[in-house]
């Protein structure tokens, strides 16, 4: 007999009460013990992963997915290292973010507390099992994990290591709970548990995110697509802009913080476009231009409406020529996904206009979009990049898995002193 989804989640919630009360030292020791256990059980985890890989190959799954699924000694060491790194980060729980005395005489503090229980829905990467569990535990939460079917044996082996470390530390192992029933019905049930789960984080392709967003009753923070733009202004340093385009597009095209569209100010289009298109083409990038771009670079393919809305996730880039920063802003407002937007400009007032007008989670001036990452932005680690404009926006670290609440300490203050039992 297996537990129902609801029973599993309830057990996780019960365990989360214990996790919320763990000290910083206990949590960090636990995370390090998890890393040790993963290394000790490396053979078991890699054997499970080999089975997942064989089954995936048999199903004819594509090379990109196979790469996301694959583990080896090096990747496993990386997962263990990531756990130890999370242990080394500051503990957000208990942080007093504000403290003042009320004019009535009591003290008011805002204090960070864990969210409670976090549901994670993800796809093929088995490292997410350990990464997400680590950040959730660091922030004092329980976590209910629903990974991809392809990775079920790998995820189960990794979760077993994490739970061994929990048991050895005397913590209820249900704090990290991996769902074994990977049916769509079970996922639907999970998404309805708004009396148990405090937050649902879906990470994966557009289809998965949309499905969760349309069906969940638990609050959702989306990690949606990144249709990121680089706008090269008339006042840009064109050498810098060239580097930003190359770094943004070619260093990891499958990442959500890669650029998908290059917008070029008409005044420098004649000077910049031949250079940038040559440099990108040399690096294997397929280039699509709008009509104005193709007047300057007639060899480019034609970029249509749909190309400007697409997250290519590959060595493909759409290019448009725009009249000025306002036209660039209008284009981004139409096609952007609120992820990361970059302007290359030495004109501070133009740069500020761009920063203020756009509502993306991360807006950059003269910096590569590829820095839109929790580690690079000083969060230490990330559970994902939120494109939901609520609670957390942009890269989310451990702090984003907590909430501030109010704690008051007084000496019998009442709101209506005239109501006191001894009042006249």
Question: What residues form DSSP beta bridges with 113?
Answer: 403
One DSSP character per residue, 10-63 reads: HHHHHHHHHHHT--HHHHHHHHHHHHHHHHHTHHHHHHHHHHHHHHHHHTT--H
Q: Give min distance, CB of 137 to its own copies, in A.
A: 17
Q: Are 233 and 344 in contact (CB under 8 A)?
A: yes
Q: Are 188 and 34 in contact (CB under 8 A)?
A: no
Q: Is 188 in the site for its own copies (CB under 8 A)?
A: no
* Residue closer to its own copies, measured from CB, 292 or 391: 391
Of the candidates 247, 260, 307, 311, which one interacts with its own copies according to CB under 8 A?
247
Q: Give min distance, CB of 122 to its own copies, in A.
A: 20
Q: Is 95 in the site for its own copies (CB under 8 A)?
A: no
* Residue closer to its own copies, measured from CB, 242 or 303: 242
Of the candidates 46, 61, 108, 315, which one interacts with its own copies according to CB under 8 A?
108
Q: Give min distance, CB of 417 to its own copies, in A.
A: 8
Q: Is 167 in the site for its own copies (CB under 8 A)?
A: no
Helix (H, G, I), strand (E, B) or coil at 4: coil
Cα–Cα dist 281/276, whole Å: 8
Q: Is 410 in the site for its own copies (CB under 8 A)?
A: yes
Q: Give min distance, CB of 138 to its own copies, in A.
A: 18
CB-based contacts of 106: which residues, under 8 Å, 6+ apart? 408, 409, 410, 411, 413
Query: Among the residues of 251-347, which ranges form H helices?
Result: 266-282, 291-296, 305-309, 325-335
Q: Is 176 in the site for its own copies (CB under 8 A)?
A: no
Q: Is 370 in the site for its own copies (CB under 8 A)?
A: yes
Q: Is 375 in the site for its own copies (CB under 8 A)?
A: no
Strand 142-146 and strand 176-178: the pairing is parallel
Segment near its own copies (CB under 8 A); pick from 27-35, 55-63, 302-310, 400-408:
400-408
Helix (H, G, I), strand (E, B) or coil at 213: helix
Cα–Cα dist 244/251, whole Å: 11
Q: Is 156 in the site for its own copies (CB under 8 A)?
A: no
Q: Residue 313: left if φ>0, alpha if ψ -120 to 50, beta else—which one?
A: left
Q: Is 25 in the site for its own copies (CB under 8 A)?
A: no
Of the candidates 29, 65, 208, 279, which one interacts with its own copies according to CB under 8 A?
279
Of the candidates 219, 268, 281, 310, which one interacts with its own copies according to CB under 8 A?
219
Of the candidates 198, 233, 290, 307, which one interacts with its own copies according to CB under 8 A?
198
* Residue closer to its own copies, measured from CB, 40 or 414: 414
Segment near its own copies (CB under 8 A); pick from 50-58, 126-134, 238-246, 266-274:
238-246
Q: Is 284 in the site for its own copies (CB under 8 A)?
A: no
Cα–Cα dist 85/380, whole Å: 8
Strand 176-178 and strand 107-114: the pairing is unpaired
* Residue closer to its own copies, measured from CB, 149 or 275: 275
Q: Is 334 in the site for its own copies (CB under 8 A)?
A: no
* Residue closer to its own copies, measured from CB, 298 or 378: 378
Helix (H, G, I), strand (E, B) or coil at 155: helix
Tell me phi and psi for residue 414, to 5 degrees.
Answer: -125, 160
**Angle CA 64–65–71, to nearest 5:** 100
Q: Give min distance, CB of 335 to its own copies, in A.
A: 14
Of the candidates 36, 181, 243, 310, which one interacts with its own copies according to CB under 8 A?
243
Segment near its own copies (CB under 8 A); pick from 100-108, 180-188, 224-232, 265-273:
100-108
Q: Is 363 in the site for its own copies (CB under 8 A)?
A: yes
Q: From the CB of residue 226, how many other CB atoms can be counted at a distance below 10 Å?
A: 25
- The helix (run of H) or strand (run of E) holding residue 342 is strand 340-344
Q: Give min distance, CB of 52 to its own copies, in A.
A: 31
Q: Which of residues 38-57 bind its own copies (CB under 8 A)?
A: none
Q: Is 415 in the site for its own copies (CB under 8 A)?
A: yes
Helix (H, G, I), strand (E, B) or coil at 187: helix
Q: Give min distance, CB of 78 to its own copies, in A.
A: 18
213 to 100, 182, 206, 359: CA distances (angstroms): 39, 18, 10, 21
Segment near its own copies (CB under 8 A); pick from 174-182, 210-218, 263-271, 306-314:
210-218
Q: Is 237 in the site for its own copies (CB under 8 A)?
A: yes
Q: Is 327 in the site for its own copies (CB under 8 A)?
A: no
Q: Is 210 in the site for its own copies (CB under 8 A)?
A: no
């Amino acid at each position: 007999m297996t537990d129902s989804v609801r029973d599993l989640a309830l057990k996780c919630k019960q365990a989360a009460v214990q996790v919320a009360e763990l000290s910083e030292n206990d949590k960090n020791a636990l995370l390090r013990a998890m890393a040790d256990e993963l290394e000790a059980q490396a053979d078991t985890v890699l054997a499970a992963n080999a089975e997942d890989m064989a089954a995936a190959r048999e199903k004819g799954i594509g090379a990109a997915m196979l790469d996301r699924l694959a583990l080896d000694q090096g990747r496993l060491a990386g997962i263990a290292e990531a756990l130890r790194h999370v242990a080394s980060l500051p503990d957000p729980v208990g942080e007093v973010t504000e403290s003042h005395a009320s004019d009535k005489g009591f003290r008011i503090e805002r204090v960070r507390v864990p969210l409670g229980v976090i549901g994670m829905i993800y796809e093929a990467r088995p490292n997410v099992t350990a990464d997400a569990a680590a950040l959730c535990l660091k922030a004092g939460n329980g976590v209910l994990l629903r990974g991809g079917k392809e990775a079920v044996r790998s995820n189960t082996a990794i979760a077993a290591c994490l739970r061994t470390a929990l048991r050895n530390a005397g913590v209820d192992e249900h704090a990290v709970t991996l769902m074994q029933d990977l049916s769509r019905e079970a996922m639907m049930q999970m998404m309805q548990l708004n009396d148990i789960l405090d937050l649902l984080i879906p990470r994966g392709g557009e289809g998965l995110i949309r499905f969760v967003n349309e069906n969940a009753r638990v609050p959702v923070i989306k990690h949606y697509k990144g249709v990121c733009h680089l706008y090269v202004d008339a006042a840009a340093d064109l050498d810098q802009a060239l580097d930003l385009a190359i770094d943004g597009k070619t260093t990891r095209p499958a990442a959500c913080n890669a650029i998908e569209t290059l917008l070029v100010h008409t005044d420098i289009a004649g000077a910049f476009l031949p250079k940038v298109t040559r440099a990108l083409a040399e690096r294997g990038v397929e280039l699509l231009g709008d009509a104005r771009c193709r007047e300057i670079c007639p060899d480019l393919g034609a970029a249509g409406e749909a190309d400007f809305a697409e997250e290519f996730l590959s060595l493909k880039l759409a290019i448009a020529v725009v009249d000025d920063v306002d036209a660039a802003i209008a284009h981004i407002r139409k096609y952007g996904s609120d992820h990361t937007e970059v302007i290359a400009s030495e004109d501070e007032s133009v740069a500020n206009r761009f920063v203020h007008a756009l509502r993306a989670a991360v807006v950059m001036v003269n910096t590569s979009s590829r820095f839109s990452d929790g580690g690079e932005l000083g969060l230490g680690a990330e559970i994902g990049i939120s494109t939901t404009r609520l609670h957390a926006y942009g890269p989310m670290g451990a702090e984003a898995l907590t909430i501030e609440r109010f704690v008051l300490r007084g000496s019998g203050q009442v709101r209506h002193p005239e109501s006191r039992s001894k009042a006249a």
